[in-house]
């Protein structure tokens, strides 16, 4: 499907701009050790990320994607995770190949750029600053900026209102089912990265307007 040239592009963080799994896996495994339990390893954690750190912690505590830990387990584990992650947001994380070039291209074409993530601001801002891309965005909507987060469309509509841009001139760049759902409900176009965090599922199953392997491909797509 052809993608129309937008005026504004909103970009997800984890799995789209940044491979944050190395830091998240480190914090999950250190939390598990602190609780006297076996660490999970990076491969397992990679399948659990994409819905915020609270959901990740819950998954880690039960060792699977779906279900809930006991309240007692969560009350013990979550503060340990948060304390670890506060000091490990961007120590091991990195931009995906092509991200720097993609951002430079979008800026050169005059697109209004925003960042919309489910990660809380206390982690989002240091991560973006640590990787040198915070100043690329005219707005950063974090997971705790509004009472709701993706897949609710409100974070996307909030960013569009900030720029004074209508849904018909807006595009979301993401990697997950949550991004596709939020974009569709907001009336935005949606382009997905093939490499992101979608719990092991092929993002093409959710029918975004286009799927690309690198942000450098935006040069021919937009």
Instruction: Respond yes or no: is residue 12 known to be catalytic.
Output: yes
Name the phi and psi angles at 113, rounded to 5: -115, 130
CB-side neighbour CA atoms (13 Å) of 77 = 28
Structural contact between residues 39 and 145, judged by C-beta atoms closer than 8 angstroms: no
> CA-based angle 3:161:214, to the nearest 5?
35
Dist CA 61 CA 69 (whole Å)? 6
**SS3 state at 94:** strand
CB-side neighbour CA atoms (13 Å) of 177 = 9
Tokens of 147: 């009472």
Active-site hit among 12, 19, 29, 120: 12
> Catalytic residue positions?
12
């Amino acid at each position: 499907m052809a993608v129309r040239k937008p005026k504004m592009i909103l970009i997800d963080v984890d799995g789209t701009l940044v491979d944050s799994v190395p830091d998240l896996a480190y914090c999950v495994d250190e939390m598990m050790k602190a609780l006297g339990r076996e660490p999970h390893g990076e491969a397992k954690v990679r399948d659990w990320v994409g819905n915020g750190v609270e959901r990740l912690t819950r998954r880690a505590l039960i060792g699977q994607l779906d279900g809930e830990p006991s309240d007692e387990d969560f009350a013990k584990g979550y503060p340990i995770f948060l304390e670890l992650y506060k000091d490990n947001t961007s120590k091991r994380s990195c931009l995906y190949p092509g991200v720097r070039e993609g951002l430079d291209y979008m800026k050169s074409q005059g697109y209004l750029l925003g960042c919309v993530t489910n990660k809380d601001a206390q982690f989002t801002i240091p991560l973006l600053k640590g990787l040198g891309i915070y100043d690329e965005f005219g707005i950063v909507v974090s997971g705790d900026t509004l009472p709701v987060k993706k897949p609710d469309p409100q974070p996307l509509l909030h960013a569009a209102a900030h720029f004074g841009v209508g849904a018909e001139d807006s595009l979301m760049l993401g990697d997950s089912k949550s991004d596709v759902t939020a974009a569709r409900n907001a009336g935005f176009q949606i382009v997905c990265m093939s490499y992101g965090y979608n719990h092991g599922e092929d993002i093409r199953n959710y029918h975004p307007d286009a799927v690309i392997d690198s942000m450098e491909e935006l040069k021919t797509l937009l």
